[in-house]
Structure 1
Amino acid sequence: MHAPRSRPDRSPAIPEASMTRFVKLFALGLLLLPNVVGAQQAPRPGSGGNPIDPDAPRPIDALESVWIEELTFMEVRDAIRSGKTTVIVPTGGVEENGPYLAGGKHNYILQQTAEAVARKLGNALIAPIIKYVPEGEIDLEPGTIRYPGTIGVRVETFKAVLTDVSPALRANGFEHIVLIGDSGGNQQPQVEVAEALSAKWTDGKTGIHHIPEYYNWVDRQQWLRERGINEVMQDPGLHDEFSATSIMMLTDPTTVRMEQRIRAGHFSINGVDLAPIPRTLALGSELVDWIADLTVAAINEATGETDGS
């Protein structure tokens, strides 16, 4: 038998000088490693060290907005101190609304109605719209949740969000927390949260109120009929009607697919023509004003205010 031949070593030879440089670089890396790790773990600017004084003066003019998420903490603080001690918590939803309306229908409507309410009150700011709301049981058919784009949460989750958000607003210094819901499934959970927190908050510091007058579809449809808008619900599966479309057009016409519907010859809803556009926009604006007036009156009654001051 022949002894197995040993294979020649074909690995490239590393010059001694290159090996020396490699060792030096490796050692330098080990020395720098703690600094690199420390830099990665260092808090971002403003997140540590000495926090800003909550009472520090505002260095620039305030933005003119009633939406808390658009304001700095100084602007919110100064608004509360100036008398804006009511906060509106609007709840919307993300669900199917047929072939024409965006899934965020309720949220687009609230951009108009909540702002109108706050400005008519004169003493209110608006918390960010809560968009995740109950949309039905996920495992039950048929239901809204089976339509792609519908995103719902359990009633318990929705109530938990309201139950957590409200004490935070109370801690901010708001004296009245107002819940308004643009979707039917939001109403009863809001009632229950308001009742539970009212029973818990017995110190008189903050009141919390659900306002059912905001969500009044019967009177809303009557208001439209009095102005010549007589809808015939032709498709029971169409989650769409004139009031929603006209208000959403004020926020953004693309949310009702205005141009696409005009091109396709579908610029109508429930037998009502949406053209001419200026008429629909004018009715939408009047409707927002009417909803806001009803809601403001109900809020003032709930809070004991009479003039928004």
Structure 2
Amino acid sequence: MRTTVMAWLTMPLFAASAMAIATASASAQTTGATGGAGSAAQAARQAAANKPRTIEGINTVWLEELTQPEFRDMIKDGYTTVLIMTGGVENNDGNLSMNKHNINNKLLGEMIARKMGKTLVAPLVTLEPGNAGPNIQPGRAGPMLSQATYTALLYDMGNYLRSMGFTEIYYLGDSGGNARGMQTAADSLTKVYADSPNKVSFKHVAEYYNHTSVVQPYLQNELKIPEGIKIGASSGTSGLHEELGIDATMALADPQSIRFAQRVKAGQAEINGIKFESLTWLQDLGRKVAVLRVTTTINAITAYRATLPKPQ
């Protein structure tokens, strides 16, 4: 029954998005045909938007940090690939910020975009799917979004980024529960624009979420760090939803996010039997893990790009 209800909730949201596309198209055609004050104002605004920049831009891959003219010129220069990074706010037990996934996305999103070249990162999707339920739970982690709302949000983001001039739109999620919504949004947009003359690719890159499949084997098998966690598990001998690879990248981004100083003071600077030798040691490990995750993700995107039709 719950699956049926969620399907009913999702269908109107996608229908609304599709209707909005059709309405916008009809409106544009009507405006062009009738002209008038609205057309003149639009033309003036367009002319202003097309004026050359008079000040130098900044060096950033974050879309929201750009001015509109800076972004316009970057699109013209071939910055037509964008990353939609999804995270969440969730219970990570006693040592880690509930913002864990978003902290990792901020670090890795920039690394991936710069390594790929001519790639920007959309504003982070900082909430993940989950259900509130009827009960009050003081101190509960969150907030979260219903699956229907979450999927519609990702759909609308991808669709709007398409309208901004991006031609490759990649969904990358740092939380396992995000995969369904990202895959659904990417698949739905692919179907909607399958016959469009303006070719746009929408892709969920599942390989980005690689804590258990790539990072854990790397730490244990290649670096020979005997962390007390079974490969594939989300908690180890410490009994926490926490592991060394995640601690390391979070320490690299922001030591306070893993409460490093507080844990040292309390004699708890360790996880799953591995003591943090120093902050420098942990951050050096974080760099290695980050490079591994970035390389794994870019390799997956490169393989996907090889399947795309070549420009005529």
- Alignment TM-score > 0.5, same fold: yes
Q: Report if the CA contact (8 A) 1:176-1:303 is conserved.
A: no
Q: Report if the CA contact (8 A) 1:96-1:147 is conserved.
A: no
Counterpart of 2:184 in structure 1 is: 192
Runs of 4+, deviation exceeding 3 Å:
48-52
Counterpart of 1:269 in structure 2 is: 271
Deviation at 1:148, TM superposition (A): 2.5
Counterpart of 1:65 in structure 2 is: 60
Is 1:76 aligned with 2:71? yes
Q: Report if the CA contact (8 A) 1:133-1:152 is conserved.
A: yes
Which stretch of the first structure deviates more once superposed, 103-112 or 77-86? 77-86
- Higher-Rg structure is 1
| Matched ranges for 1:34-113 at <5 A | 51=45, 53-113=48-108
Q: Report if the CA contact (8 A) 1:138-1:146 is conserved.
A: no
Is 1:159 aligned with 2:151? yes
CA distance in 1, matches of 2:172, 2:249: 17
| Matched ranges for 1:177-216 at <5 A | 177-202=169-194, 203=196, 204-216=198-210
* CA 215–138 in structure 1, closer or farther in 2 if over 3 Å, else same: same
Is 1:282 aligned with 2:284? yes
Q: Report if the CA contact (8 A) 2:113-2:120 is conserved.
A: yes
CA distance in 2, matches of 1:299, 1:257: 34
Q: Report if the CA contact (8 A) 2:128-2:178 is conserved.
A: yes
Gaps of 5+ in 1: 1-47
Aligned length: 255
Counterpart of 2:19 in structure 1 is: none
CA distance in 1, matches of 2:45, 2:87: 35
CA distance in 2, matches of 1:72, 1:304: 33
Q: Report if the CA contact (8 A) 2:238-2:271 is conserved.
A: no
Which deviations, in whole Å up to 9, do the C-alpha atoms of 1:163-219 show, x marking residues without a partner?
111111001100100000000000122111111110111214211000011112222
Which stretch of the first structure deviates more once superposed, 202-211 or 183-192? 202-211
Q: Report if the CA contact (8 A) 2:103-2:253 is conserved.
A: yes
TM-score, structure 1 as length reference: 0.77
Which stretch of the first structure deviates more once superposed, 266-275 or 146-155? 146-155
* CA 182–49 in structure 1, closer or farther in 2 if over 3 Å, else same: same
The structure 1 residue matched to 2:113, chosen from 98, 118, 130, is 118
Gaps of 5+ in 2: 1-41, 229-235
CA distance in 1, matches of 2:50, 2:307: 28
CA distance in 2, matches of 1:290, 1:256: 21
Q: Which has the higher helix share?
A: 2
Which deviations, in whole Å up to 9, do the C-alpha atoms of 1:102-143 show, x marking residues without a partner?
1100000011111111111002000011011113x32289xx
The structure 2 residue matched to 1:234, chosen from 225, 233, 237, is 237
Q: Percent identity?
A: 33
CA distance in 2, matches of 1:303, 1:161: 25
Which amino acid is the alignment partner of residue 209 of structure 1?
A: K
Structure 2 SS opposite 1:134: coil
CA distance in 1, matches of 2:90, 2:138: 10
Q: Report if the CA contact (8 A) 2:171-2:204 is conserved.
A: yes
* CA 106–186 in structure 1, closer or farther in 2 if over 3 Å, else same: same
TM-score, structure 2 as length reference: 0.77
CA distance in 2, matches of 1:261, 1:50: 59
